[in-house]
Amino acid sequence: MLVPGPLVSAFIPSPSSGQLRLGPLVLNAYGLCIAVGVVAGVWLANRRWVALGGSPDTINRVATFAVPAGIVGARAYHVITDWKSFQGRWGEVFYVWKGGLGIWGGVFLGAVAAWLVARRLHLDIGALFHAAAPAVPLAQGIGRWGNWFNIELFGRPTTLPWALQVPKDKRPDGYESFATFHPTFLYEFLWNIAIVIVVVALSAWLLTRFRKGAAFALYVALYTLGRFFIERIRIDQASLIGGLRVNEWVAAIVFLCALMTLYRLRLVPSTATTPSQNPPSTPPDPSPE
């Protein structure tokens, strides 16, 4: 058993409940984290879109369709890749508030919905994804705190000062004798925030060396790179292929696809702008027909 040492006070405690009470109002903490993440992501994407010359209400209109599609896609990915855990209790497929959202399905279906709406509104799709590039990891990072409230998706046992204390009834089979585990939700939160900073810092430079949309490919490449290593230390039940978790395979494949996309979006020297030149023209943002 991992015995807490002199730094036990530094361990991260698990919440006593997955709910937040505001007077008579009881809120599901997992859902609240997702909602706060969405609001923060939409806010950041909107600021970047307006800075490119777009209309202030466009991002909200796109998010009206992209966010629900992302949630459906995230849940569908989780159910498809972990369907065995729902055998005999298929009704729980709809219990989204209990956790179980796969980011891969969420980003994919959300991006498809955003693309369709952008085409319907005759928007500059590259500029739209440029604006959304750091907004998506911001929403993901905040949403990851929902895993802390649900006491789920933690990593291997550890006695590091920032380890997560897990109650006995929440410890996986075979790990009952261990008290503290890697807080992978925290690792992913910090990695996502780092991605936000990097993408925002490089956004102007990317517009001078790549076609619009490269910022989103950069986000995907960075996220999947970190996610691969975070998956390596998780111990929650997962389907395996060739000894690796499905999410590890997905992270590696999507990482390579993101790198290839970045390569294809590069501007050749004859068409690339210089830092002293103006950025590409602002995105058209007319009202729908």
The amino acid that residue 278 corresponds to is: N
DSSP H or E segment with residue 136 = helix 135-143
Phi, psi of 171 (to 5 degrees): -80, 140
Instruction: Enter the tokens of residue 88.
Output: 């005999």
CA pair distance 196, 83, nearest whole angstrom: 33
Residue 30, pLDDT score:
85
Would you give the end-to-end CA distance of the chain in angstroms? 66
The reported pTM is 0.83
Q: What is the mean pLDDT of each run of 10 residues along the chain (289 residues)?
A: 47 82 75 93 96 93 93 80 62 61 83 94 94 96 92 92 93 92 96 98 95 95 96 86 89 96 82 47 53
Q: Across the strands, what pairs with 22?
A: 25
CA pair distance 207, 127, nearest whole angstrom: 10
| Helices of type H across 26-134 | 29-51, 58-81, 103-120, 125-132
Residue 7, pLDDT score:
43
Residue 186, pLDDT score:
96
CA triple 115-260-231, angle to 5 deg: 85
Residue 283, pLDDT score:
59
